[in-house]
Amino acid sequence: MSFHPIEQAPARLNRSELAVPGSQPQLLEKAAKSDADVVFLDLEDAVAPDDKVQARKNIIEALNDLDWSGKSVSVRINGLDTHFMYRDVVDVVEQAGANLDLIMIPKVGTAADVYAVDMLVTQIEDAKGYQKRIGFEHIIETALGMQNVTEIAGASKRNESLHFGVADYAASTRARTTVIGGVNEDYSVLTDPDKDGNRDVHWGDMWHYAISRMVVAARANGLRPLDGPFGDFSDPDGYRAAAKRAAVIGCEGKWAIHPSQIELANEVMSPSDAEVTKAKRIIEAMEQAAKEGKGAVSLDGRLIDYASIRQAEVLVEKANQIAGG
- Catalog residues that contact Mg ion under the rule CB under 5 A: 141, 165, 168
What is the nearest approach in angstroms of Mg ion to the Cβ of residue 147?
17
Min. distance of Cβ 278 from ligand GLV in angstroms?
Answer: 34
Give the separation between CA 14 and CA 36, rounded to whole angstroms: 8
Distance of CA 171 to the CA centre of its chain: 20
Q: Give the shortest CB-169-to-ligand GLV separation in angstroms.
A: 7
166 binds, among ligand GLV, Mg ion, none (CB under 5 to 8 A by kind): ligand GLV
Strand partners, 304: 297
Residue nearer to ligand GLV on the CB measure, 109 or 229 = 229
Quick one: 122 or 147, whose CB is closer to ligand GLV?
147
Give the residue from 5, 85, 3 showing the smallest Cα distance to 43: 85
User: Which residues sit opposite 190 in a β-bridge?
Assistant: 201
Element (H, E) at 102: strand 102-105
Is 229 near ligand GLV (CB under 6 A)? yes
Q: Tell the smallest beta-carbon distance from residue 109 to Mg ion (Å).
A: 13
168 vs 252 by CB, closer to Mg ion: 168
Nearer to ligand GLV, 153 or 286 (CB): 153
Q: Which does 109 bind (CB under 5 to 8 A by kind): Mg ion, ligand GLV, none?
A: none
Q: Is 228 in the site for ligand GLV (CB under 6 A)?
A: yes
Residues 124-183 that bind ligand GLV (CB under 6 A): 139, 141, 165-168
Q: Decide if residue 253 touches ligand GLV (CB under 6 A).
A: no
Q: 3-state DSSP call for residue 12?
A: coil
- Helix segments in 66-142, DSSP class H: 85-96, 111-128
Q: Is 18 in the site for ligand GLV (CB under 6 A)?
A: no
Residue 228, binding choice from Mg ion, ligand GLV, none, Cβ under 5 to 8 Å by partner class: ligand GLV
- Kindly provide the residue ranges of all beta strands, DSSP E only, lying in 68-190, ordered along the sequence: 72-76, 102-105, 135-140, 159-164, 188-190
Q: Strands, DSSP E only, in the chain?
A: 16-21, 38-42, 72-76, 102-105, 135-140, 159-164, 188-190, 201-203, 224-227, 253-256, 297-299, 302-304
Cα angle 265, 88, 76; round to 5: 10
Residues lying near ligand GLV in the complex (CB under 6 A) are found at 106, 139, 141, 165-168, 228-229
